[in-house]
Amino acid sequence: MIAQAAAEPTLVLTWAVCATGLPALAYLVWRHRTGRPVLKTSPAAFARVNPVALGLTALAYFLFYALVGTVVLTEDLSPAAALSGALAILAGGLGVYVVVLRRVFRPRGRQAERIGRGFLVLWAAMPVVFGAFLLLQAFGLEGSQESITWMAERRPGWRIVALHAVLVAPVAEETCFRGLLYPALRQLRGPGYAILLTAAVFGVIHVLPAVVLPMVLFGAAMAWMCETNGSYFPCLLAHIAFNALTVLQLLV
């Protein structure tokens, strides 16, 4: 299932990331309060495109991702078939970029600066995202995603599941939500509405009650990153890093 592609934080990693992310969050807040925000919106960061076309492209690619992803995450599927499915999703994301996305975004600043700001936002968001996860756990909302159990138990095909979690899911989800849906909604209703709605939908698709709210917060951070950078590439790298942290914790 598509909802099984996202990484779920383990307790040790959760506390560590929350603690180390607090200085980054405090720095961003301080810069904002002193009138020197690190992240600034850029009105010219997005080209005017047909929002309906972007929305339909997002839906089509999402359905393709969900269908192929469901087949890939099946234990009795041969490794070659599972790998082919994962590569098909990645190829689809690349095709969407070549045909659509490179015409949508007008990045602000140098690539290295955008990536650096992206990782700063990611780390600053982690105390909020993982803090919400801990809070929900304290209220008894738990539940392990099947992909997490699969990798932890080293079931047959766990390497494909890890590849799906670390690379395939971030590419597909960032292409759908921040690459296509966000600029479409932004053009229709403005950035605030687009951030909230894309974050809400992104959270809901992850299904499990213990994961939905943290993923809404994570989605909002990624959308804000997209808005201030004029690019979804930093979001993609941040999402890969976010999922890789948990997979690494499970496998080491």
205 vs 73 pLDDT, higher one: 205
Q: What is the pLDDT of residue 11?
A: 66
| pLDDT average, residue stretch 199-220 | 90
Supply the pTM of this predicted model: 0.89
pLDDT in tens, 126-169: 999 988 888 887 777 665 666 776 776 677 777 888 888 899 99
Picking from 218, 226, 225, the residue whose alpha carbon sits closest to that of residue 201 is: 218
Who's near 15: CB < 8 A, 6+ residues apart? 134
pLDDT in tens, 71-103: 777 766 777 888 888 899 999 999 999 999 999
Q: What is the pLDDT of residue 75?
A: 62
197 vs 159 pLDDT, higher one: 197
Mean pLDDT estimate for the chain: 85
| Residue found under tokens 């590849």 | 163
The length of the chain, given as a count of residues: 252
For the chain, the structural domain boundaries read: 2-33+44-251
Distances (CA, A) of 193 to 73, 104, 182, 198: 34, 19, 9, 8
CA distance 219 to 51: 20
| Residue found under tokens 């590439």 | 233
Q: What is the pLDDT of residue 177?
A: 96
